[in-house]
Amino acid sequence: MMETGKPEKLIVDGRRLDGRRPDELRPLRLKAGILKRADGSAYIELGKNKILAAVYGPKEMHPRHLQQSDVAVLRCRYNMAPFSVEERKRPGPDRRSMEISKVIREALEPVLFLYLYPRAVIDVFIEILQADAGTRTAGITAASVALADAGIPMRDLVTGISAGKVDGTVVLDLMKEEDQWGEADMPIAVMPRKKRITLLQMDGNFTREEFRQALDLAFKGVDLIYEAQKEALREKYLPSLEEEK
Amino acid sequence: MKGKMKELVSSVKRDHLVELALQGKRVDGRALDQYREVSVERGVIGTAQGSALVKLGNTQVMVGVKLEKGEPFPDTPASGILVVNAELLPLASPTFEPGPPNEDAIELARVVDRAIRESQMIDLEKLCIKEGEEVWAVFIDIYVLDHDGNLIDASVLASVAALYDVKPPAVEEWTLPEFPLTKKPAAVTVVKLNGVMMVDARLEEENIAEARLTISTLENGDICAMQKGGSGFFDREELEKAYELALKCGEELRKKL
């Protein structure tokens, strides 16, 4: 497709535009429990992405007709701040954010024991403050830390990352330019302990071999991010545990 | 029941379907890798530039394609426009309601959009009339008429069939010798029912499935789009299995075009 501003090459001598190798993540920062009012919260920076996640609940579901008699309802809202992208984004939900909210909900549901809280609701809010590709997967990474921070029982955390193809090379964790001009993007979310895939999307072009390589890379990325998630939770809760001793 | 595409299923029926699945059987006698009867009828609507009616068993989806001149998007000044919209009509199911599209309808439209767009089956650059000023816009409108499961595969098949039905001379001031189409993507949705993978789920199977995975492939076996849905998960072996099914069944679906 004819597009303006595309650099001639996105990978030069095995290095990407920001100097990374194909299998490297962007710099990652993850913190648990940074909002006071929310039951659980987390903040993630992945490259230039800045994302907040907050969890409220389990609490009584209103309006009541949305209650389910046998399980809790998980509600997810993925939302981009108007100032999070180059051109101002019109505030409020659009078709993209509605679809992403749905797939994020379906990515998180497998780790929760929703049958423990019939008639209740768990609200997950993901706010993209600054976007640079990979926001839905970074949002999932933060949201699952926020769920744990809220003290909600979980089978595992959920870890999100994207893999894709740029200049014919399979790469991990696409940045904005690579997402825009690359040949494929595959967001994926995994329950790391048992390698269960809870979100999978892809657009572009993958041969069978590239698909396999992308999965390999994604799983490697997931292991690294999983450690950072656990570390963020330890960082918040270890001091208070020490005090109790 | 959350999500209007799904309905409640009695535990007796659920147990029966699970029992069958565990034996590799299905309620209508099909194999796990077998589609219901597929029919594709093109040119069903005279007022559309292209149209098709697809039936997968009792599921019926109609697609109309309209071509209009429009302004290009600023970031792709030399490229035509593709717009995909899906309507879950209230006449198609007791659980569909009138009103603005819900998340199911939006997801359906966006999954079909990516299968078509990312396959590059439409050469959008050829649809440029004057760079930065005027291009052809292709509108794909998906009309779900009868919902008995697997709307994604039916909608992609109907959309591709309707695109191959486009008769440009019917459009005023058409600027090209022909409608520029190259490939034939096919979407195959695999559902996981109590751990058993099967294609072309009918509604009662879909209603109790843990998860679904749609893989759109091209003639050469490349993948152009994927979408997982549902509250369950897949492991890596299941992905491989789904890809095999997508290749095999995709080829069969393409033959119906």
Q: For B61-80, how does the pLDDT look when each residue is reduced to its tens digit (9 = 90+)? A: 999 999 999 999 998 999 99
CB < 8 Å to B228, chain A: 103, 106, 197-201
For residue A239, pLDDT over 90 is answered with no
Q: Is the pLDDT of residue B160 over 80?
A: yes
pLDDT band at B8 (very low <50, low <70, confident <90, very high): confident
Cβ-defined contact of A207 to B221 (cutoff 8 Å) = yes
* Dist. CA A54–CA A42, nearest whole Å: 7
Query: Which of B231, B235, B237, B239 should we substitute to test contact with A (largest number of A Cβ atoms within 10 Å)?
Result: B231
Average pLDDT, whole number, for chain A? Answer: 96
Total count of residues recorded for chain B: 257
- What is the CA angle A186-A192-A198, rounded to 5? 50
Rounded to whole angstroms, how far apart are CA atoms B70 and B56? Answer: 34
Average pLDDT over residues A92-113: 98
Whether A65 has its CB under 8 Å from any CB of chain B: the answer is: no
Q: What is the pLDDT of residue A2?
A: 43
Q: Which residue has the higher pLDDT, B9 or A102?
A: A102
Distance, CA of A76 to CA of A196 (rounded, Å):
20
- Percent of chain A at pLDDT exceeding 90: 93
Phi, psi of A107 (to 5 degrees): -80, -30
Q: Quote the mean pLDDT of chain B.
A: 94
Domains located in chain A, CATH noted: 18-240 (3.30.230.70)
Phi/psi of residue A58, nearest 5 degrees:
-65, 140
Q: What is the pLDDT of residue B4?
A: 66
pLDDT tens digits along B85-132:
999 999 999 999 999 999 999 999 999 999 999 999 999 999 999 999
Whether the model pTM is above 0.90: yes
| Residue range B15-42: mean pLDDT, rounded | 96
End-to-end Cα, chain A, rounded Å: 62
The beta-carbon neighbor of A211 closest among B124, B213, B223 is: B223
Q: Which residues of B touch A204 (CB under 8 A)?
A: 118, 224
The span from the CA of A163 to the CA of A221, in Å, is 9
Tokens of A77: 């809202």
CA distance B144 to B203: 14
Per-residue model confidence (pLDDT) at position B3:
45
A26 to chain B, minimum CA–CA distance in Å? 25
Q: Quick check: A244 pLDDT over 80?
A: no
Interchain proximity B76–A109, CB inside 8 Å: no
- In chain A, positions 162-221, which contact chain B (CB-CB < 8 Å)? 186, 191, 194-208, 211, 215
The tens digit of pLDDT for each residue in B165-175 reads: 998 766 667 77
Place of tokens 């269960």: A196
**Minimal Cβ distance to A1: which of B114, B124, B213:** B124
Pairing verdict, β B134-146 and B223-229: unpaired
Across the interface, whether the CB atoms of B224 and A194 are under 8 A apart is answered no
CB-CB neighbors (< 8 A) of B106 in chain A: 95, 98-99
Residue A67 in contact with partner chain B when CB distance is under 8 A: no
Q: Residue A95 and residue B124: Cβ atoms within 8 Å?
A: no
CA-CA-CA-CA dihedral for B222, B250, A162, A136, to nearest 10: 150
Dist. CA A134–CA A173, nearest whole Å: 7
**pLDDT range class, residue B150, cuts 50, 70, 90:** very high
Residue B174: predicted pLDDT:
79
Per-residue pLDDT of A4-38, as tens digits, reads 578 899 999 999 999 999 999 999 999 999 999 99
Give per-residue pLDDT as tens, A173-231.
999 999 999 999 999 999 999 999 999 999 999 999 999 999 999 999 999 999 999 99
Which chain B residues touch A106 with a CB distance below 8 Å? 211, 228-231
Chain B nearest-CA distance from A105, in A, is 8
The answer, yes or no, to whether residue A133 has pLDDT greater than 90, is yes
Model confidence pLDDT, tens digit, residues A114-132: 999 999 999 999 999 999 9
| Lowest mean pLDDT segment, chosen from A39-43, B74-78, B244-248 | B74-78
| Per-residue pLDDT, A4 | 59
Chain B interface residues facing chain A, Cβ-Cβ under 8 Å? 2, 75-79, 103, 106-107, 109-110, 114, 117-118, 124-125, 211, 213, 221-236, 239, 243
**pLDDT score, position B171:** 63
Question: For testing the chain A interface, which of B120, B233, B247 should be mutated: the one with the most A CBs within 10 Å?
Answer: B233
* Chain B interface disruption, residue of A102, A165, A179, A220, most B CBs within 10 A: A102
Mutate to test the interface with A, among B228, B243, B245 (most CBs of A within 10 A): B228
Which residue, chain included where needed, has tokens 């520029």? B180
Class of domain B29-255: alpha beta
Q: What number of C-beta contacts closer than 8 Å exist between A and B?
A: 95
Q: For chain A, give the percent of residues with pLDDT over 70.
A: 98
Q: In which band, very low, low, confident or very high, does the pLDDT at A1 lie, cut at 50, 70 and 90?
A: very low
CA closest to A186 among chain B residues:
B226
Quote the ipTM score: 0.93
